[in-house]
Structure 1
Amino acid sequence: MSPTVLVALIGGLAIVCTALGGVVGAGLTSRAQKRVAEASEHTAEVTAAATVKATERTAQDRLIDQLQEELGRYRDDNDKRVDRLEQRVEDLTAENRGYRAFIGVQRDHMAEHGIPLPPYPSDLPR
């Protein structure tokens, strides 16, 4: 081969290699950009999912806190009500003892003065 043809072949080969390198480089660049975009989309999806989950947890935590406060108020109110009822039972028990003692005094008084005593009810304690 003549040197001119050889130089032309080498020049043509260099142009083809350069063009091929450009095409391969563009393909690699495009592929890398797609991966970055996919990773970015995936990151955005993960971030959005985490945000939704955090928001749900926050809402659930607020609801739990609210229910615990309501339950605490209910328990406090119930404790106060039970305390009032217990006090009322104690008051009525003392009152009942007073009436029973007074009935005993009346029966003794009636017996001392010869007044016939009515029969004591069998269903009541003495």
Structure 2
Amino acid sequence: MIIVEGIDHLNLAVTDLQKSVAFYSEIFDFEIEDDAHRGYVVMTLDPIKIKLVKVDKVENPLSALNIPQFSFVMDVDDFTEAITEFEAKGIEIVKGPETTENGGETLLFKDPDNNLIEIFYTN
């Protein structure tokens, strides 16, 4: 059996590295960990690590099926604050907020490349 200790990072295809770095920095407070390479930037929000990979065109079948690339869990106060911040920054909410089976709420929105992202809280 192969023993896995965790996930190091998640890859996300983007068409504009600067725009995506700004988005993930401003919305979620991700910080640049490594931008010394051409074609990608690694960002962290401890313990989460994402690798924004520059591509010419993003073709995301998951977003087309309303399946989020990421699902970030937060507490109810941060969830409510996020909705207010999205509205203030003109970020379109694709779906929600909706009540979940466990009494929490979920919301879907898109990043600059239409990658679908979920935020939610549980009770």
- TM-score (norm: length of structure 2): 0.18
With CA pairs under 8 Å and 6+ residues apart, which has the higher RCO, 1 or 2? 2
Structure with greater strand percent: 2
Structure with greater helix percent: 1
- TM-score (norm: length of structure 1): 0.18
